[in-house]
Amino acid sequence: MSPTFETQSNKGDEFTISAPSAGLPWRLMVFSGVLFAFSIFIFFGIKFGYTSYLDDQSIKIDQQLESLAKKINEADQEKFIGFYSQIVNLRTVLEKHLFVSNTFKILEKYIIQTVFFKDSSFDVNSNTIQAMGSTDSFNSLAQQMAIFEKAPEITKVSLDAVSLQPSGGVTFTIKLQVQPAFLSKPSA
């Protein structure tokens, strides 16, 4: 590439030859300089502008969160939690509430005339009535067992101990497992 010469007339007839310009390298240098300056600007913009803006935002949201917590009166909050706990605890307790007095109804309904119970107990954990009774004969006891086994309220009948008395009667211990559904509602 040949250098360009510019002629120009000055005062008088003097000819001067201007210095050839740097051309493309010069423009490249300016462009690189601008690029460098821009990258520095971006860095400082991020470092001191955007980062501090984000920090401010973060602090502002934290403050808003703190003020949000103060919006609810502490006493009201405490009362509400107490009431809510009562409702939840009430539900928990009522789920386990059984009408144990229904067991009397079972015995009243199915005991035959020749059988007498001396002692009876009911345990909620095992859902079982345990009763000690006496009757006049093995035949009556077998009859009583058969009635209990047919009862829809009873899921399992087991005879624990049977002994013949010198007087001729029979004493026994019986276990009756009660259907839980039968204890979940009060009897009429």
Give the list of residues 6+ apart from residue 30 with CB closer than 8 angstroms, or none: none
Q: Which range of residues in 6-14, 65-73, 154-162, 174-182 is near other proteins by CB under 8 A?
A: 65-73
Q: Does 72 bind other proteins (CB under 8 A)?
A: yes
Residues belonging to the chain: 188
* Residues 17, 3 contacting (CB under 8 angstroms): no
Q: 116 or 139: whose CB is closer to other proteins?
A: 116
Q: How far is the CB of 77 from other proteins (least distance, A)?
A: 8
> Which of 16, 17, 79, 185 is in the footprint of other proteins by CB under 8 A?
79
CB of residue 11 to other proteins, shortest distance in Å: 26
Q: Which is nearer to other proteins, 48 or 139 (CB)?
A: 48
Q: Is 17 in the site for other proteins (CB under 8 A)?
A: no
Which phi and psi (to 5°) does residue 135 adopt?
-150, 175
Which residue from 82, 152, 166, 168 is in contact with other proteins, where contact means CB under 8 A? 82
The yes or no reply on residue 119 touching other proteins (CB under 8 A) is yes
89 binds other proteins (CB under 8 A): yes
Look at the block and give the residue holding tokens 């250098």: 3
Pairing of strands 115-123, 154-164: unpaired
| Residue 187 CB partners (closer than 8 Å, separation 6+) | 99, 101, 102, 105
- Contact pattern for other proteins over residues 18 through 57, marking x by CB under 8 A: -xx-xx-xx-xx-xxx-xx-xxx-xx--xx--xx--xx-x
68-71's contacts with Cβ under 8 Å and 24+ in sequence apart are none
